[in-house]
Amino acid sequence: MLTLKMLRDDPQQVIDRLKVKNFDAKPIVDKVLELDSLRRSLQQQSDNLLAEQKKRAGEIGVLLKQGLKEEAEAAKAAVAELKTKSAELLEQGEKAANELQDNLVLLPNLPCSLVPEGKSAADNLVVKEGGPAEVRLPEGALPHWELAKKYDLIDFDLGVKITGAGFPVYKGKGAKLQRALINFFLDRNTAAGYSETEPPVVVNAASGFGTGQLPDKEAQMYYVGLDDFYLVPTAEVPLTNIYRDVILEGDQLPQKITAYTPCFRREAGSYGKDVRGLNRLHQFDKVEIVRIEKPENSYAALDEMIAHVEGLVRDLGLKYHILRLCGGDMSFTSAITYDFELWSAAQGRWLEISSVSNFETYQANRLHLRYRDENGKPQLAHTLNGSSLALPRVVAALLEDNQTPDGIVIPEVLRPYTGFDIIR
């Protein structure tokens, strides 16, 4: 959430910068400033009435001591009237404050100066490429959903029977490959200084609001109506909310945590190869990294996170590129986002497997997450998060790009975790 100070100090800058996200902020900014002015005016009027009320109340005792009962009664009546008017002003001020808040949360985060202009994913900027220059597949190469069936790794039809489309059942070596990837990612994350955490996978509305999923993305989240809970769309939500309503000491930063969770997303379904198999699921596994940083350190931390995720992808031996998202393809809450995509030779397309983002103070303002600066004054922290990594499309690329006439070869870094080097 943007701060009121930012809007008061330079509303035009907010309007201009949000144009990079193709967002017309002027009507909302104007409304917020109008409501802010009204709220402050009502507060001032209420304060003036309270001061007058206190003054008149003090006069009542003096008048009574002087035997001026009629004047004292008039003063009492005046005090009662002032109380009524003050209460009315406070109610109006509370209404204006609530309406202000409702409008303020409609403004996305400001994109940082590095974000390129653009309207869609077609305008994203490739900043780096890596992995094999070319992925050569054997004759008759199969897409991962056919490989999964051939080697009895994943049963998509059984998932439909048990739950519905988008809830696969991993079997045998397929299940072991999942567990191997999770453990590999967690081990690498903890070796890089991230503290492993196991958070809940259901959260309350306050947590959803804190990280910006609510009220923006409620249609994409699974809702447990009886308890007013949401299934997590990413471990970012519970991990970052660990710090909700927290003031950290300066020497406690940075905070670096990681977690594996299943994730749940009610993404709109469609037909075709782009959503077949593991390409789009409603339940999937993901390992996440989250950092809480001082503002002056957050972009160096972002670079570290990008390099860390790149190391995971590179060591899996997969062809990848890194994209800096344009304004039109960024999330509501992000100041800057880098996406990692793997090349699927069997499908002839790129598969997104990670997003690494800096939210600057946007989430921290919603979370009331602060730290004490060198003067002991509370300041908003910066929050960052990244996938390290989302499993489904990693598995898809691993199966497709490592298929041979003899079976699917397991990357060397995973063999200590799988206990086997090939799937036959």
Sheet holding 403-404, edge to edge: 403-404, 407-409, 422-423
pLDDT of residue 270: 47
Burial class (CB in 10 A: 0-12, 13-18, 19+), 164: exposed
pLDDT of residue 239: 98
Whether residue 280 lies inside any domain: the answer is: yes
Instruction: Examine the domain organization and report whether 11 and 135 are in the same domain.
Output: no
pLDDT of residue 68: 86
**Which amino acid appears at position 414 of this protein?**
L
Whether residue 112 lies inside any domain: the answer is: no
Instruction: Examine the domain organization and report whether 128 and 224 are in the same domain.
Output: yes
Whether residue 114 lies inside any domain: the answer is: no
Instruction: Examine the domain organization and report whether 249 and 169 are in the same domain.
Output: yes
Q: Residues with Cβ < 8 Å from 122, sequence gap 6 or more? A: none
Instruction: Examine the domain organization and report whether 167 and 71 are in the same domain.
Output: no
Cα separation values, 74 from 51, 56, 301, Å: 18, 10, 67
Instruction: Examine the domain organization and report whether 396 and 363 are in the same domain.
Output: yes
Instruction: Examine the domain organization and report whether 188 and 62 are in the same domain.
Output: no
Whether residue 113 lies inside any domain: the answer is: no
For residue 278, say if its preceding peptide bond is cis, omega within 30 degrees of 0.
no
pLDDT of residue 275: 80
Whether residue 194 lies inside any domain: the answer is: yes
Cα–Cα dist 320/64, whole Å: 86
CATH of the domain at 199: 3.30.930.10
Whether residue 111 lies inside any domain: the answer is: no
Instruction: Examine the domain organization and report whether 128 and 254 are in the same domain.
Output: yes
| Number of CB atoms found within 10 A of residue 136's CB | 8
Total domains present in the chain: 2
Instruction: Examine the domain organization and report whether 337 and 407 are in the same domain.
Output: yes
Residue where a domain terminates, one of 104, 133, 164: 104
Q: The dihedral of CA 190, 193, 198, 199: what is its sign?
A: negative
For residue 254, say if its preceding peptide bond is cis, omega within 30 degrees of 0.
yes
Nearest CA to 199 out of 143, 138, 259, 249 is that of 259
What number of H helices and E strands is found in the chain?
13, 19
Is there a contact between 389 and 309 (Cβ–Cβ < 8 Å)?
yes
What is the residue whose two structure tokens read 């190469």? Answer: 141
CATH of the domain at 76: 1.10.287.40
Cα–Cα dist 195/179, whole Å: 19
pTM here is 0.93
**Which amino acid appears at position 421 of this protein?**
D
Ramachandran category for residue 247: left, alpha or beta (phi over 0 → left; psi -120 to 50 → alpha): beta
Instruction: Examine the domain organization and report whether 95 and 197 are in the same domain.
Output: no
Whether residue 158 lies inside any domain: the answer is: yes
pLDDT of residue 272: 52
pLDDT of residue 268: 52
Sequential pLDDT tens for the chain (424 residues): 999 999 999 999 999 999 999 999 999 999 999 999 999 999 999 999 989 888 888 888 888 888 888 888 888 898 888 989 999 999 999 999 999 999 999 999 999 999 999 999 999 999 999 999 888 899 999 999 999 999 999 999 999 999 999 999 999 999 999 999 999 999 999 999 999 999 999 999 999 999 999 987 778 999 999 999 999 999 999 999 999 999 999 999 999 999 999 999 997 544 455 689 999 999 999 999 999 999 999 999 999 999 999 999 999 999 999 999 999 999 999 999 999 999 998 999 999 999 999 999 999 999 999 999 999 999 999 999 999 999 999 999 999 999 999 999 999 999 999 999 999 9
**What one-character DSSP code corresponds to residue 138?**
P
Structural domain for 31, as ranges = 4-104
Whether residue 127 lies inside any domain: the answer is: yes
Instruction: Examine the domain organization and report whether 157 and 210 are in the same domain.
Output: yes
Nearest CA to 395 out of 201, 182, 196 is that of 182
Instruction: Examine the domain organization and report whether 170 and 88 are in the same domain.
Output: no
Instruction: Examine the domain organization and report whether 51 and 87 are in the same domain.
Output: yes
Residue where a domain terminates, one of 54, 71, 104: 104
Residue where a domain terminates, one of 104, 133, 155: 104
